[in-house]
Amino acid sequence: MTVIWFALILLCLLMYVVFDGYDLGIGIATLAERDGQRRREMLELVAVAWDGNETWLVLLGVCLWAGFPLAFGTILPHAFLPLIVMLFGLIVRGVAVEMASQRPPAPRWEKAFGIGSLVAALAQGAAASTLAADLRVTGGAYNGSAFGALSCYSVLTALAVAAGYLALGYAYLKWKTAGELRVTAGRRGRGAGLAAVILGAGCLGAVNATAAPLNLGSPVRIAGFAGLMAFAAAGAAMALVTLRPGSPLDALPMWGLAIAAVALFLAVVTARYPVLVPPSLTAAGSVSPSRTMEFLAIGIGLDVPLILFYHWYAHYAFRGKTYGVPHGSHAESTGASDDH
């Protein structure tokens, strides 16, 4: 049950990074877009699915709290400040996207949407650095500073996550839009993707100097880590190649970046499991009682298929490319899927 629950948490994390990652990235991208009509088109692409994308973050928190309460109670106070900042950013962007969508033109709400997206992305990256920090537990409780998540490494992870989200956002824009916005997304997306690759490599290179170095002490771990990193590199390369404006393969950048993100996370897990909280708190050492796990598995196990169906239906209903947006309504689709 411990492994199954850990896999469920990993699923929630990966689904959130890919799905909410692209709409946070689109929000960040609006800050660099001067054309009001194109900003509106970008915002409407987010408006149709952002709330469902963020459901994975809620489910992630519930799964971690219910399944590994000691790990949750250790991570939360350490990353308290960036998580609070993240929540404020998500609240601002959630209000802004609805207000800007319902009563256009709304340049101030559009600006708030972009700033909220950037703040949330940076805060998530800073919070992620907690998994490489030295978290001491005394008497079953975290024994450290509330400012523990603020470090040079947290700055690096914050920038890497923001750049990765921005690349995902531009990849999604190239997939779903046409005309000048598609060309701009491809051009800027290559720069964002290259920055994400460099910063991500920097995070991996610097992690061995933290309290949670990669554990590659066995041939199985080395082989698994190397294989997954090869997938991540191949996905990133595919995205960078097909992001160029002249490439007609508009869906491949998004798929490539999604593969890269998933493979990178799985590679880190391969090199870290079963440690959840450094230096020594493991999944088995922080898991809830088996009866609690079985009871919660029923409720959460029913939720996951419903959320997956919502994602499928929302993206199916708004499949195809958008060609501008009408005044005062969510984005319209061509209704025909784009298989390029």
pLDDT of 291-307, one tens digit each?
Answer: 877 787 787 878 888 88
Q: What percent of the chain has pLDDT over 90?
A: 41
**Run of H or E including 139:** none
Q: What is the pLDDT of residues 85-140, one digit of tens each?
A: 999 999 999 899 888 877 777 889 999 999 999 999 999 999 988 888 777 777 66
Q: How confident is the model at residue 340 (pLDDT cuts 50, 70, 90)?
A: very low
Q: Is the pLDDT reported for residue 332 higher than 50?
A: no
Residues 6+ apart with CB under 8 A from 221: 215, 270, 271
| Nearest-10 Cα torsion for 3, 9, 15, 18 | -100
Q: How confident is the model at residue 141 (pLDDT cuts 50, 70, 90)?
A: low
Total domains present in the chain: 1
Q: How confident is the model at residue 335 (pLDDT cuts 50, 70, 90)?
A: very low
Average pLDDT, the chain: 86
Q: How confident is the model at residue 219 (pLDDT cuts 50, 70, 90)?
A: very high
What's the pLDDT score for residue 22? 94
Query: What's the rounded Cα separation, in Å, for the pair 188 and 50?
Result: 22
CA distances from 210 to 214, 219, 319 (A): 10, 23, 43
What's the pLDDT score for residue 253? 95
Kindly state whether residue 258 falls inside one of the protein's structural domains: yes
Beta strands 281-282 and 275-277 are antiparallel
Residue 315 corresponds to which tokens in the numbers above? 């993206």
Span 215-231, mean pLDDT?
92
What sign has the CA pseudo-torsion 215, 220, 223, 228? Answer: negative
Query: What's the rounded Cα separation, in Å, for the pair 176 and 190?
Result: 17
Whose CA is closest to 307, among 83, 51, 67? 51
Kindly state whether residue 332 falls inside one of the protein's structural domains: no
What's the pLDDT score for residue 328? 46
Domain that holds residue 70: 2-317
Residue 97 corresponds to which tokens in the numbers above? 């996207």
Q: What is the pLDDT of residues 37-67, one digit of tens each?
A: 888 889 888 888 888 888 899 899 888 888 8
Whose CA is closest to 180, among 323, 16, 299? 323
Q: What is the pLDDT of residues 244-274, one digit of tens each?
A: 877 888 999 999 999 999 999 999 999 888 8
Kindly state whether residue 47 falls inside one of the protein's structural domains: yes
Kindly state whether residue 328 falls inside one of the protein's structural domains: no
* Residue 258 near residue 169, CB atoms below 8 Å: no
Q: What is the pLDDT of residues 276-285, one digit of tens each?
A: 877 777 888 7
Count Cβ atoms below 10 Å from residue 275 Cβ, excluding itself: 17
CA distances from 29 to 133, 235, 277, 297 (A): 31, 22, 33, 38
Q: Is the pLDDT reported for residue 309 higher than 60?
A: yes
What's the pLDDT score for residue 323? 65
Kindly state whether residue 330 falls inside one of the protein's structural domains: no
What's the pLDDT score for residue 282? 81
CATH code, domain carrying 185: 1.20.1630.10
What's the pLDDT score for residue 225? 94
